[in-house]
Amino acid sequence: MSSPIFLHVSLLQIPNDFALDENKKLVGIISVLDIIKVLEHEGKEGLDMPLEDVMTYPVETLLPEEDIVKAFYKFKKYGFGRLPVIDTSNRVIGIITPMELAEGFARYLGIQENTENITKISDADRQDDNVIKLENSADNEEGDKALLNMRFNIIGGDFNRAGEASGQIKAKLKQLGIDSETIRRAAIASYEAEMNIVIHAYEGALMVTVAEKYIKIIAKDKGPGIPNIELAMQEGYSTASDKIRELGFGAGMGLPNMKRCSDEFEIQSEVGVGTSVKMVIRF
């Protein structure tokens, strides 16, 4: 490379590990770990090494107009924790992470929410295992008064209806006047739980209890189960099939995102039987 390369520091508050040329175009990426490795092998002399000998290039990037599916696919394929977003001139204009993708998709679900069928379910609809069933119930198992109970039955592999349950949950929480940050966390947690059932299980159910000070989300499924829960909790680890990954799902962020959005998180699984996840979000 003939152009001088320097470490980016302040442009658009992007983390300082993107290597830019003199025209501020992205030419590589360098991490703190890369620098540590150089110092381990070269000592202080490593500080004089040009960045182009240390950085990784070419860099996997995204364009602003590219869709969420492609972004999820790249995260899964390359295992990165973030990707730079560039314009047509190869200038860095932002950065995206899997968590931000999940949050964005949860917000998108709220755009097209339709709450009418939450409160108006016909007798015929109640025979459909995929519609929401509501119970304005009395006390729940913790002894606190439940403002609302909701249940969704989910069919594994039904991507046409994937996201409906979490969209309905978000809409109902808005109706109840729950604060926006709690709604955001509940929307992400319920979406990830719903998608895990769709992707991995034969069938399952998503049950939500809204109490005066917390939201409890329970996801239970019948499916292959999880052989190694500790491994499954690692970001980027996934057992999704190649077909699922080609659709842009199965990036291995579902369980970590669910735990991240919860104040309490419990998971149990039995191979050949299924998985149960309990999340509590306090507000």
pLDDT digits (tens, 9 = 90+) for 233-282: 988 777 766 666 655 566 778 899 999 999 999 999 999 999 999 999 99
Q: What is the CATH number of the domain that holds 114?
A: 3.30.565.10
Same domain, 23 and 110: no
Same domain, 147 and 92: no
Helix/strand/coil (H/E/C) assignment for every residue in 118-142:
HHCCCCCHHHCCCCCEEECCCECCC
Same domain, 117 and 218: yes
Domain that holds residue 43: 6-96
pLDDT digits (tens, 9 = 90+) for 59-91: 788 888 887 778 877 877 776 667 888 888 888
Same domain, 84 and 108: no
- Considering 96, 119, 141, which residue would you say is the last residue of a domain? 96
Q: Which residue has the higher pLDDT, 7 or 94?
A: 94
- Considering 47, 70, 96, which residue would you say is the last residue of a domain? 96
CA distance 262 to 277: 11
Same domain, 208 and 74: no
Backbone angles phi, psi at 190, to 5 degrees: -70, -35
Mean pLDDT, to the nearest integer, of 221-229? 92
Same domain, 141 and 85: no
Q: Mutual orientation of helices 180-200 and 98-111 as an angle, nearest 10°? A: 100
Same domain, 232 and 117: yes
Same domain, 116 and 172: yes
- Considering 96, 121, 151, which residue would you say is the last residue of a domain? 96
- Predicted confidence band of residue 208 (pLDDT cuts 50, 70, 90): very high
Asked, for residue 1, whether it belongs to a domain, the answer is no
Residue 133: count of CB within 10 angstroms of its CB: 16
Same domain, 119 and 228: yes
CA distances from 50 to 2, 54, 58, 124, 172 (A): 12, 7, 16, 70, 56
- Please give the mean pLDDT across all residues of the chain: 76
Same domain, 77 and 178: no
